[in-house]
Amino acid sequence: IKQKIEQQINQIQDLNDLQLLRSSALGKKSELQGLMIHLKDLPNDEKPMVGKLINETKQALELIFDERKGVLEEKALNEKLEKEQVDVTLPGLKLVTGSTHLLTQVQEDIEQFFIGLGYEIKDGPEVESDHYNFEMLNLEKDHPARAMQDSFYIDVNRLLRTHTSPVQARTMLESEGKNIKIICPGKVYRRDDDDQTHSHQFMQIEGLVIGESVSFADLKGTLLAVIRHFFGSERTIRLRPSYFPFTEPSVEVDVFSEDGRFIEVLGAGMVHPNVLKMGGYDPQKVQGFAFGIGIERLAILKYAVDDIRQFYTNDVRFLNQFKGGL
Ligand code: FA5
């Protein structure tokens, strides 16, 4: 019996098969166990000897099973190691990662600048009411200046906001007469014809400061500081008088481009007394300044981008140039 089983053991190549053989060779229904049962039929003087022989055979087989198990386990481990071997000299796969869009980088840079000056960041709805987008900013229904910002209306009273300035009105009402120092970045929409510097959808960063003795000099200093921060002190810039119904006086800032012309980057001014009043502030007691910066225009001027549409066409060859951050 021992020889027969030993032969079978040595032929087995698989750990599962070995386990099966072990139960059939040594288990309850095995030949050896059958002999044990028949022990009682033997003459008394033969019983101890035969019993001993059966037990010794069992023990010897256990050992052989264990040994074979060890051999097979080692073989399995080696095969596994062989299969999982890593060739560190193979060329790697190139991982293509995304990155922050240039416009977001510019937005975050300007945000950080204003956070450093103690401004809070606000948010406002892109679908806005006519009331906030125009009326609260001193542009009644038939005001001719509404034509300055041709709009996408959704119904009679709602439109895609044409600028981030409605957030001024919302913040004033929320603040209930307290001092204000906020910026609000976001998307805006206009029925402008797309060209190199105009898009029907673009981004602005609104700013609003209200408090006692806020002056035009503060506005000028703030605008100069943010423009110098972004473009450096070498860049030629121009402050030019302008007109907005919600500020008086009003100005615009132009930055000199690489191709030799001034491009307008922002509108600003001292908050109009009517706007302060509608927002719940007394123009006799407090003053305010506000500005609206075009984010695309900043990026165009700093990186000599030749066409605003480059920002929206998602050509990775364009986007990859700005992967490393500002
Ligand atoms: C306004 O939108 C005013 N709300 C700005 C303002 C805020 C004035 C607070 C006073 C106080 P304007 O239409 O000029 O103004 O737009 C502001 C800036 O947005 C422009 O200087 C320009 O940088 C950018 N901009 C305007 N139209 C477009 C366009 N179609 N495509 C890309 N950028 C634009």
Kindly state if the Cβ of 269 falls inside 6 Å of ligand 1. Answer: yes
Tell me the torsion sign for CA atoms 14, 18, 24, 28. Answer: negative
What would the mean pLDDT of 209-216 be, rounded to a whole number? 97
- Is the predicted pLDDT of residue 214 greater than 90, yes or no? yes
Answer yes or no: is pLDDT of 142 > 80: yes
Query: For ligand 1, what atom is nearest to the CA of residue 291?
Result: 9
Ligand 1 atom closest to residue 137's alpha carbon, by position in its atom list:
4
CB of 244 closer than 6 angstroms to any ligand 1 atom: yes
Q: Does the CB atom of residue 272 touch ligand 1 within 6 A?
A: no
Tell me whether 0.95 is exceeded by the ipTM.
Answer: yes
The pLDDT value given to residue 115: 98
> What separation in Å is there between the alpha carbon of 292 and the centre of ligand 1?
6
Six token digits for residue 64 = 């052989």
Is 241's pLDDT higher than 90?
yes
Average pLDDT over residues 140-162: 89
- Could you tell me if the CB of 297 is within 6 A of ligand 1? yes
Which pLDDT score is estimated for 85? Answer: 85
pLDDT of 257 above 80: yes
Q: What is the pTM of this model?
A: 0.75
Is residue 325 pLDDT above 80, yes or no? no
Distance (Å, rounded) from C-alpha 255 to C-alpha 301? 7
CA–centroid distance, 266 to ligand 1, in Å, is 6
- What's the chain's average pLDDT? 93
Of the pLDDT bands very low, low, confident and very high (cuts 50, 70, 90), residue 326 is low
109 lines ligand 1 (CB under 6 A): no
Cα–Cα distance for residue pair 234/223, rounded to 1 Å:
16
Which whole-number Å values give the CA distances from 4 to 1, 26, 66, 236, in the listed order?
5, 13, 17, 100
- The confidence score (pLDDT) of residue 86 equals 85
Residue 33 has pLDDT above 90, yes or no: no
Q: How many CB atoms lie within 10 A of CB 235?
A: 14
Mutate to test the pocket of ligand 1, among 107, 202, 265, 289 (most ligand atoms within 8 A of CB): 202
